[in-house]
Amino acid sequence: MTDTKHKTRRSFLKAAAISTVGAGIGGATASAAESQISAKASSLPAKVPRKKLGTTGQSIPILLVGCAQKFDPKYDKILHRAFKEGVDYLDTAIVYADGQSHRTIAPFIKQIGDRSKLWITSKGPSKNATVDSYTKDLDRCLEELETTYLDLFFMHFVDDPKFLKPEYITMGERLRASKKTRFFGFSCHGDHQVALLNKAAKVGGIDAIMFRYSFAKYGDLELNKAIDACRKAGIGLIAMKTQDSVPGDQEDVLRFKSQQFTLAQAKLKAVWADERIDAAVSHLDNTQKLAENVAAAKTPAQLTMNEFQQLQRMATARAEHSCQGCSHICESHFPEKTAIARPLRYLMYHQCYGESERARSLYAQLSPEERHFEGVDLRAATRACPQGIPIEQRLAEAGRQLA
Ligand code: SF4
């Protein structure tokens, strides 16, 4: 956030360090509805604030529409309402909505009538990707979206620093020069995330990165250094998975108390309070969620120290529910093909983001070998997990809830 009158992430951290973490929680509990009503006050700005994306020179809203769902091609009220609120940035991907996302966005682009009024980011699949396949992916994005250019093309779900070798950086330059995309970068979901950010800052040629970031990562020293390096290199940073992985029933137990924000709003505010982050992408699949997100983005109110401390306590308490996607750590401990990070991510979509249909669809796409964990010795993997996740228990939970 640019308003220096308000506390930034750094000042929060500094103050938190000298205050009593166990201080009592003050203030009345505000329900989600009450918070939204107060945040809808007419004193709020008409549009969501904007920030410059890295050194692209382009201004984007601080809240972005994640397009993992199918939209109504006739008239999608979420897309149109978001646009009216200034949320004119759509974040999609070839694989979103079972491959249907682009085709359901294309009519909306036509309805707006002026391509330049929208920012569209899309992504090509990363599994077994090559320079050639990414190049074809970009053409496919344009064809399906029925547009002549993307604002930003991402290599999707990058989990290996090899995708930042010179041939990929040169490819990015070529794609920009072709004018099929204005900017180029990648998204990463956790695996080798720090290494990827550090390498991107070093090699250049990356305009923006979308990465997993939330209130739960404030204390991650290595990630913080990597974020600093990216900022220094002028790379735009977009946060995803801002709600982290706290299942709803756990959140009820922890009971976030605030006079001004819902828990979801507070988590967003925690990300926006980090001045290094340009924007946060949210999965906005209903109008209530859209209103809640927009209100949080518009209001100049910031987290109080007490609210921030509650989030910090929640981050500590929820650690064993929060798989960070670093599969290179746990999945290297056995010869079987058992997947850990992906089923746990799908479980997170189901338990924490209410995206049950998507979670079940993705879980069904895992091969029987990837889903198989009974009889696999997961003890070494569990010991290695930095989050202390009871892996077998969680895989069993994923099987019960998603199969
Ligand atoms: S289970 Fe642990 S080690 Fe494996 S991906 Fe999740 S957080 Fe990383």
The CATH number of residue 275's host domain is 3.20.20.100
Q: What is the pLDDT of residue 249?
A: 64
Atom of ligand 1 nearest to the CA of 324: 7
Q: Per-residue b/e over 137-166, b at no fewer than 16 CB within 10 Å?
A: bbeebbebbebebbbbbbbbbbbeeebbee
Examine the domain organization and report whether 296 and 156 are in the same domain.
yes
Q: Which residues line ligand 1 (CB under 6 A)?
A: 323-327, 329-330, 340-341, 344, 385, 387, 389, 391
Helix (H) or strand (E) holding 134: helix 131-145
Exposed/middle/buried for 361, CB within 10 Å: 0-12, 13-18, 19+? middle
Q: What is the pLDDT of residue 9?
A: 53
**Token pair of 155, please?**
């290599």
Atom of ligand 1 nearest to the CA of 384: 3
- Helical H segments across 243-340, by residue range: 248-254, 263-272, 287-298, 305-317, 327-330
CB 212 within 8 Å of CB 180: no
CB 341 within 8 Å of CB 191: yes
Does a structural domain hold residue 363?
Answer: yes
Q: Whose CA is nearest to atom 6 of ligand 1?
A: 323
Ligand 1 centroid–CA 359 distance in Å is: 18
Exposed/middle/buried for 28, CB within 10 Å: 0-12, 13-18, 19+? exposed
Examine the domain organization and report whether 119 and 257 are in the same domain.
yes
Does a structural domain hold residue 30?
Answer: no
| Most informative mutation of 191, 217, 326 for ligand 1 (most atoms within 8 A of CB) | 326
| Most informative mutation of 344, 370, 382 for ligand 1 (most atoms within 8 A of CB) | 344
Ligand 1 centroid–CA 97 distance in Å is: 25
Ligand 1 centroid–CA 364 distance in Å is: 21
Atom of ligand 1 nearest to the CA of 394: 1
Does a structural domain hold residue 220?
Answer: yes
Examine the domain organization and report whether 266 and 229 are in the same domain.
yes
- Residue range of the domain that includes 301: 43-315
Strand bridging mode 89-91 / 236-240: unpaired
Exposed/middle/buried for 332, CB within 10 Å: 0-12, 13-18, 19+? exposed
Ligand 1 centroid–CA 331 distance in Å is: 8
Examine the domain organization and report whether 292 and 158 are in the same domain.
yes
Q: What is the pLDDT of residue 32?
A: 45
Q: Which of 93, 151, 152 is nearest to 124 (CA)?
A: 93
Question: What's the alpha-carbon Rg for the chain, to the nearest Å?
Answer: 21
End residue of a domain, out of 271, 291, 315: 315
Give the three-class secondary structure for 135: helix
Q: Whose CA is nearest to atom 7 of ligand 1?
A: 323
Helix (H) or strand (E) holding 356: helix 356-364
Helix (H) or strand (E) holding 24: none
Per-residue pLDDT of the chain (403 residues; tens, 9 = 90+): 333 334 455 544 444 333 322 222 233 333 444 444 444 556 789 999 999 999 999 999 999 999 998 999 999 999 999 999 999 999 999 999 989 999 999 999 999 999 999 999 999 987 789 999 999 999 999 999 999 999 999 999 999 999 999 999 999 999 999 999 999 999 998 889 999 999 999 999 999 999 999 998 888 899 999 999 999 999 999 999 998 876 666 666 668 899 999 999 999 999 999 999 999 999 998 999 999 999 999 999 999 999 999 998 888 877 787 888 889 899 988 888 999 999 999 998 888 778 898 899 999 999 999 999 999 999 999 999 988 899 999 999 999 999 9
Q: Does pTM surpass 0.75?
A: yes
End residue of a domain, out of 271, 292, 315: 315
Atom of ligand 1 nearest to the CA of 329: 3
Q: What is the pLDDT of residue 354?
A: 80
Q: Whose CA is nearest to atom 2 of ligand 1?
A: 385
End residue of a domain, out of 315, 331, 365: 315
Q: How far is CA 357 from the centre of its chain?
A: 18
Q: What phi, psi does 221 have (nearest 5°)? A: -60, -45
